[in-house]
Each structure stands twice: as structure tokens, then as C-alpha cells.
Amino acid sequence: LVGVILVACAGMVNVIASKHLGGFVSHVSGTVSKVGMHGQGLAVGSSTLEQFGEPLAVVGSFIFGAMLCGLLAGRDNLHEVHIGRTLYGMALLGSAALLVATVSLAGQEQAIYVAATACGLQNGMCTMHLGAICRTTHVTGLSTDIGTTYGRLLSIM
């Protein structure tokens, strides 16, 4: 039931971000496609650096959110995940705080990146807590795994 609720929340955040912030924040595969299209557009002169950088920053923000979860969960090594109710609650509160910050930044360029960070944090938390059984956002497994692994590596250092 919790997974279903989180999936619904991620979908609502994504729709609201699309309508009010001008882009999807949890649809990483589509956003990566935009990066590729605008990268090619840069090469032939049909895209600007801003058109290329914006979706790249959204993907980076999502990965950063997942990395925050990895920092919280990865304590001793990469073979054990220490995640429990405390982290679950902290990650949910962190995601909620980021979404509140998104609302307060509405109309500003940074809002979409804060929302993407919230989605990455939620997806990382759900993936680590439920063992990658449930992904709460669109096809984002690789991005989530990259972010949580980076976070766990940083927590070891």
C-alpha cells in the first residue's frame, strides 16, 4: 500500500511540475532523451546551450536526490544497506521539505531542480527500503542506483 501511495505522489508531482514548471522531474528516461536531442542540436546549430543544460541539470538534480538517500543509508560498506524506519521517515520529511521549497520557488528557474531532487530522494528511499522491488517514478532505475551508490561511497570515505 505504501508503494502505491508513493507512486501516486510521484505521478502527481510529475504532472504538476510539467504544467507549472515546464518539464517532467521524475521522467528521467524522457529527460535524458531531451539531453541527447539538444546535444545533437548543439552540434548542428539548432539548439542552444541553455536548451541542452536544462534537462541535464534536471537529471543531475534527480541523481543528487538519490545520492542524499545513499549518504544516509550507506554506513560501513557497499554490501550492506542500513535503512530502517528512522531513515524512511527522514527521507520522506526531506522529500516533503523539498516539495514545499519547490512551491515557494514557483516561477523561478530553480524550482524544477528542487522538485527533481525531491523525486530522486523519494525514489532512492523507496528503492533502498523495499529492495528495488518498487520504483516510484518512471524508468529511473539506473539514475537512482547511480545516485545511491555515489552517496554510499561518499559516506564510506
pLDDT tens digits for range 107-145: 999 999 999 999 999 888 877 776 665 555 555 667 777
Grid coordinates of 9: 505522489
Whole-model pTM? 0.82
Query: Helices (DSSP H) in the chain: which residue ranges?
Result: 2-21, 28-44, 49-73, 85-104, 111-130, 141-156
- Taking a C-beta distance cutoff of 8 angstroms, is the pair 97, 111 a contact? no
- Taking a C-beta distance cutoff of 8 angstroms, is the pair 82, 63 a contact? no
**Segment holding 79, helix H or strand E:** none
How far apart (Å, rounded) are the C-alpha atoms in residues 145 and 140? 9
How far apart (Å, rounded) are the C-alpha atoms in residues 34 and 29? 9
Q: At 86, is the pLDDT very low, low, confident or very high (cuts 50, 70, 90)?
A: low
**Dihedral, CA atoms, 57, 61, 62, 68, nearest 10 degrees?**
160
Res 72 pLDDT > 70: yes
pLDDT of residue 73: 72
